[in-house]
Amino acid sequence: MKPLVVVGGPIHPDAMAVLEAEARVAEIAEATEEQMVAVARDAEGILFIIRPDCNRSLMTACPRLKVVGRHGVGLDTVDLKAATDLGIAVVHAPGSNSDSVAEHALMMILVCAKQALDVDRTTRKAEWRSTRPQPNMELRGKTLGIVGIGNIGRRMARLGAALGMRVIAHDKYVADAEVRARGAEPRVDLYSLLREADVITCHTPHTPETHHMIDGRAVAQMKDGVIFVNTSRGKTQEERALFEGLTRGKIRAAGIDVFEEEPVNADNPLLNLPNVLTSAHVAGVTRESMRGMGVQVAEEMVRVLRGERPHVLANADLWPRLSHLK
């Protein structure tokens, strides 16, 4: 009998076809942990979309589990240590939405620099004016500061350079020579980047180390009139500090795709600021990325179920223990 794979929400039809060729597939809408376990108790694979989190108690309740897939790039909702302890392979789809996120971040930067929201709003009211209280910003010759120069960050470096910007980056896990190879001047610490950048864009995972890295102290280090964009993870920013920076003029404008609590509450004060462009954690959600992401992670899951080593294994040290699957 084919193994059972549970999918925690809709995926691209091409990705579903990959799974159905090798497994019995059960789809469950965004669920609680208890609801997921009820369906996946005998599953050998679970593909997590949004909720629930892939935690130790859930995986322990599914004793036949061999592989969990994350329909995305980040692994902040997966207890990697627990999966490794339990002998469960973890696969995901790094790089699958990098172009989509980089394009979205660039869009946010341009909207903020050109005050596009205000221009659109006043034009629709027939308030025709060629000047504004704060002039638009030309990006050529300005400094773009990239926090995290991985798959997305390196694309941002190319986009910034294409606009004639000077590009700097901070990423403590990438050697200086490699940062340069990716198109940016390295900065040894976050604060040195914040002090130089006219535009800051964040592309870093959420970890204990990056939690609230953009806090009040960080905002104080920024240039006056900076543009801040975050399309990475909401908990890397302290929203109260951003709000104060935006209302006091320290931060000229911000593009926020991610929030500390998601879905964002309607009473979040950032939503009421005219100099903030928001989106609902959709920077990486395009037709192209959804197909690529789904197919990539589905193929990785199938490799594990076949007893083959996946191309991208988040807990790589685990593989020798899984050789019995072959």
Cα–chain center distance at 159: 18
Token couple for 12? 């691209």
Q: Which residue type is seen at 165?
A: M
Active site residues: 233, 262, 281
User: How many residues are there in the chain?
Assistant: 326
Report the C-alpha gap between 160 and 140 in whole angstroms.
Answer: 9
Report the C-alpha gap between 122 and 129 in whole angstroms.
Answer: 9
Query: Strand, helix or coil at 235?
Result: helix
**Cβ(275)–Cβ(246) below 8 Å:** yes
**Cβ(48)–Cβ(8) below 8 Å:** yes
How many other C-beta atoms lie within 10 A of the C-beta of residue 132? 11
The b-or-e profile of 87-113 (16+ CB within 10 A means b, else e) is ebbbbbbbebbbbbbbbbbbbbbbbbb
Of 295, 318, 319, the closest CA to residue 308 belongs to: 319
Bridge partners, residue 69, by sequence: 47, 91
Token couple for 124? 């629709």
Report the C-alpha gap between 195 and 258 in whole angstroms.
Answer: 23
For the chain, the first-to-last Cα distance in angstroms comes to 17
